[in-house]
């Protein structure tokens, strides 16, 4: 079973102490933080008080622990009598549905402090080894109405829940950061091993991986984006040589590139502007190295979500879906608007209209992009294949047209693209 997080991890005890002091000033009540077993962790009490005199004895711990368990079970503040027979309220400090602490206020009197009440208090505290005048101590106990006590209980309950939720978010965030850093560390080690085996160190910034990341964001694929992003971050860190300012500069460029790609995919401009504003945290002087990976991943995830929702809202027609599937199967052959329209049983005019309206591109440009993406896959995995052969394999009969189309879509020639995936090529 996983260990309970310590209360010192959950709370900034110094700040919580300030909050307790202000709470006591406003309500006139003592307040304290206990672990799940009822042991004191932090208190704010009057100079002379019952709890201070009882010194968190075993009897008190038992009642406090019980009060915390009951408040956990009920899901709300639990008001009951304590070991002294007085009234306290308890609120649970939860993490992942487990009780890991208790915040309590009191004790108080909800009835008249007469002789009967004094006698009962004296009897209840006989086994607590209180070494002060019990009757004098009883006269110092705060009196409170039921309404005030209930309101105080609600304040503590809201406060405890707020801290618990914040802690859950914090721990989940740190877990994500740790997992991602481990993956990037593995990739860096793999890269160093590859450099050692080849005897050369890759010195160029990986522009092609950057372009693959942009394409992944445009496709709305989270898993693909995260995988490519980790590889790219590995390369960025290696390229920057540990210089955090260089890393931030590269990440700034990356956010700009991806935001432009998201807009070109049809994502709403106001949504993209909102993501860009949130990304400014990457470039603050206070942002440390270990937080960069997490923050850039969150930014990319926001881009993906925006693009995905926009694509989903387009609701492509079944005719267009069938046409896209057909092109994906037959891209290497002779594909024309007529042949595809015939295959999906629509007119050429209507099919052309669908590509322009729903995909914001022409039929021919879409077919060309599919073929170029297939060519990139071939060039990436086969360093010996001839450029002309690659073009013919994906459906280009004219090698010059293939080279021109490839450079138009990727920014570099097919030969340079192939060379970028081969080591020791000048």
Helix (H) / strand (E) element for 245: namely helix 244-264
Architecture category of domain 318-419 in CATH:
Orthogonal Bundle (1.10)
Torsion of CA 283, 284, 287, 291, to 10 degrees: -40
Tokens 């050429």 -> residue: 348
Largest CA distance in the chain: 107
Enter the tokens of residue 387.
């450029």
Q: Are 267 and 360 in contact (CB under 8 A)?
A: no
Question: What's residue 340's pLDDT?
Answer: 93
Cα 328 from Cα 335, distance rounded (Å): 11
32 phi/psi in degrees, rounded to 5 = -150, 155
Burial of 108-140, coded b for 16+ CB within 10 Å and e otherwise, reads: bbeeeeeeebeeebbebbeebebeeebeebbee
**CATH T-level fold of 7-170:** Beta-Lactamase (3.30.450)
Beta bridge partners of 43: 32
Cα 261 from Cα 266, distance rounded (Å): 9
Provide CB contacts within 8 A for 115, sequence distance 6+: none
Cα 260 from Cα 392, distance rounded (Å): 32
For the chain, domain boundaries: 7-170, 202-309, 318-419
Cα 298 from Cα 278, distance rounded (Å): 10
Question: What's residue 368's pLDDT?
Answer: 93
Q: Are 138 and 85 in contact (CB under 8 A)?
A: no
Question: What's residue 214's pLDDT?
Answer: 73
> Identical fold at 7-170 and 318-419?
no
- Nearest C-alpha neighbor of 111 from the set 132, 141, 151, 90: 141
R_g of the chain computed on alpha carbons = 34
pTM of the full predicted structure?
0.42
Q: Are 287 and 256 in contact (CB under 8 A)?
A: no
Helix, strand, coil % over all residues of the chain, rounded to 5 = 65, 10, 25
Cα 234 from Cα 191, distance rounded (Å): 8
Positive or negative torsion for Cα 187, 189, 191, 194:
negative
Q: Are 74 and 91 in contact (CB under 8 A)?
A: no
Question: What's residue 270's pLDDT?
Answer: 83
Residue 301 has a CB neighbour count (10 Å cut-off) of 16
Size of the chain in residues: 426
The set of long-range contacts for 223-230, using a CB threshold of 8 Å and a minimum separation of 24, is 225/300, 225/301, 225/304, 226/297, 226/300, 229/296, 229/297, 229/300, 230/180, 230/183, 230/184, 230/187
Provide CB contacts within 8 A for 360, sequence distance 6+: 266
Q: Residue ranges of the chain with pLDDT lower than 50?
A: 1-2, 423-426
Burial of 207-243, coded b for 16+ CB within 10 Å and e otherwise, reads: ebbbbbbbbbbbebbeebbbebbbbbbbbbbbbbeee
- Can you say how many angstroms the Cα of residue 177 is from the centroid of all Cα atoms in its chain? 9
């Amino acid at each position: 079973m996983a260990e309970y997080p310590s209360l010192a991890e959950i709370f900034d005890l110094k700040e919580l102490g300030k909050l307790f002091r202000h709470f006591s000033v406003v309500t006139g009540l003592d307040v304290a933080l206990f672990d799940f077993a009822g042991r004191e962790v932090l208190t704010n009490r009057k100079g002379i008080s019952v709890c201070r005199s009882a010194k968190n004895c075993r009897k008190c711990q038992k009642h406090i622990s019980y009060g915390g368990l009951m408040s956990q079970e009920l899901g709300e503040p639990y008001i009951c009598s304590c070991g002294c027979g007085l009234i306290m309220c308890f609120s649970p400090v939860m993490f992942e549905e487990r009780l890991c602490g208790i915040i309590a206020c009191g004790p108080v009197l909800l009835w008249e402090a007469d002789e009967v009440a004094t006698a009962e208090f004296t009897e209840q505290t006989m086994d607590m080894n209180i070494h002060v005048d019990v009757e004098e101590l009883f006269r110092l106990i705060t009196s409170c109405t039921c309404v005030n006590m209930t309101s105080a209980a609600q304040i503590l309950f809201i406060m405890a829940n707020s801290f618990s939720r914040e802690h859950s978010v914090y721990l989940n965030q740190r877990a994500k950061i740790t997992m991602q850093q481990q993956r990037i560390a593995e990739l860096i080690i793999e890269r160093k091993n590859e450099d050692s085996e080849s005897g050369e160190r890759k010195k160029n910034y990986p522009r092609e991986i950057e372009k693959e990341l942009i394409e992944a964001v445009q496709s709305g694929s989270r898993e693909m984006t995260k995988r490519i992003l980790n590889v790219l971050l590995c390369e960025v860190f290696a390229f920057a040589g540990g210089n955090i300012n260089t890393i931030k500069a590269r990440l700034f460029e990356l956010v700009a590139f991806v935001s432009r790609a998201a807009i070109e995919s049809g994502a709403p401009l106001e949504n993209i502007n909102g993501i860009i504003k949130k990304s400014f945290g990457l470039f603050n002087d206070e942002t440390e190295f270990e937080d960069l990976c997490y923050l850039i991943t969150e930014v990319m995830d926001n881009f993906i979500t925006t693009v995905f929702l926009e694509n989903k809202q387009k609701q492509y027609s079944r005719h267009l879906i069938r046409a896209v599937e057909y092109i994906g199967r037959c891209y290497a052959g002779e594909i024309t608007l007529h042949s595809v329209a015939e295959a999906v049983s629509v007119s050429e005019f209507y099919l052309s209209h669908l590509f322009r309206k729903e995909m914001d591109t022409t039929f021919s440009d879409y077919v060309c992009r599919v073929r170029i993406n297939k060519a990139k896959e071939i060039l990436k995995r086969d360093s010996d294949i001839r450029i002309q052969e690659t073009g013919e394999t994906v459906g280009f009969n004219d090698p010059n047209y293939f080279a021109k189309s490839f450079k138009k879509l990727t920014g570099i020639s097919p030969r340079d693209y192939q060379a970028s995936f081969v080591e020791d090529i000048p």
